[in-house]
Amino acid sequence: MMKWALYIIFFISVYNVTAQTPALADTIKQAESVITQTVQPTPTDTAKKTGVQSIPTQTIAPITVKQKKAPKYRFAKDKVDFKRENKELIKLYKDTFERKKEIVLQNKRYRIYNNYLSAGVGKCYNSGWGEVDLCTAFDFNFHAGKKYFQVGGNLVGPALWNNNCIQLHAGWGHRIERCNYQLAAYGGLSFSDGYYLKDSLKIKMNSVGVYAALQAFYKLKFDYGIGLSTFVDVNAKQTLVGLKVELFFSGAYKGFKKINYAKEDEKYQVP
């Protein structure tokens, strides 16, 4: 009897185990799926691990900036008005005459009492021929003390190598010189050699006359520049009236200013 009771308990246990096996299998599968899932770290977790806080980013729209036009720089010479230098030059001319008296401009030495050469070309009305001719001129302008003199000549004719008149002149004048310009006026005697027309005949001429001239130059540097010159020459045979474009060159430049470096060093010594 006891034997049959043990068989019955065995079969009941097997039946219970068999019935619970599918539920256990499902539970095991669920546990495995939970374990095998990949955990994605959140920004908060990453910040906690690394110790660096995440910074939110924001897209900024580009800003268009208009480019300003570069300023136009002039030459350094254009910025110099020579007011102070001209006042100094006027004062030097008012002082007693000294042949080697100088002025310093831009660290260069210039002698204020200087001689200069002027030369140029232009047009001239010649009454002896009743026409406007080419005029080529040259003049040497020099000083004796504070007085200025001029000697020179004009070649007058239809072309440079076809001249009807060679005119020479000499005279006394007055010169006004500044750092950026120069004015001069001269008057004196002249001598004309050439030909003039009378009743359609070409007649030889050697005549003495009177001469006057005006000069106005703009200085590129203190010792050279460009300008205009006009003149009138009158004699018994003909009259010449001309206007020319001329260049002038003077002997004023005497080199750079010498610097006493010993005195310059004394300025920067600490007492």
The pTM of this model reads 0.65
* Ramachandran assignment for 9, one of left (phi > 0), alpha (psi -120 to 50 degrees), beta (any other): alpha
Rounded CA separation 52/266 (Å): 62
Evaluated on CA atoms 57, 59, 64, 67, the torsion sign reads: positive
Q: List domains and CATH numbers for the chain.
A: 87-256 (2.40.160.20)
Which whole number is the average pLDDT over 220-240?
95
Give me the residue label for tokens 């374990």.
35
Give me the residue label for tokens 């004048």.
173
pLDDT band at 75 (very low <50, low <70, confident <90, very high): very low
Q: Is residue 155 packed enough to be buried (19+ CB in 10 Å), middle (13-18) or exposed (0-12)?
A: buried
**Residue 195: is its pLDDT beyond 50?**
yes
**Residue 133: is its pLDDT beyond 70?**
yes
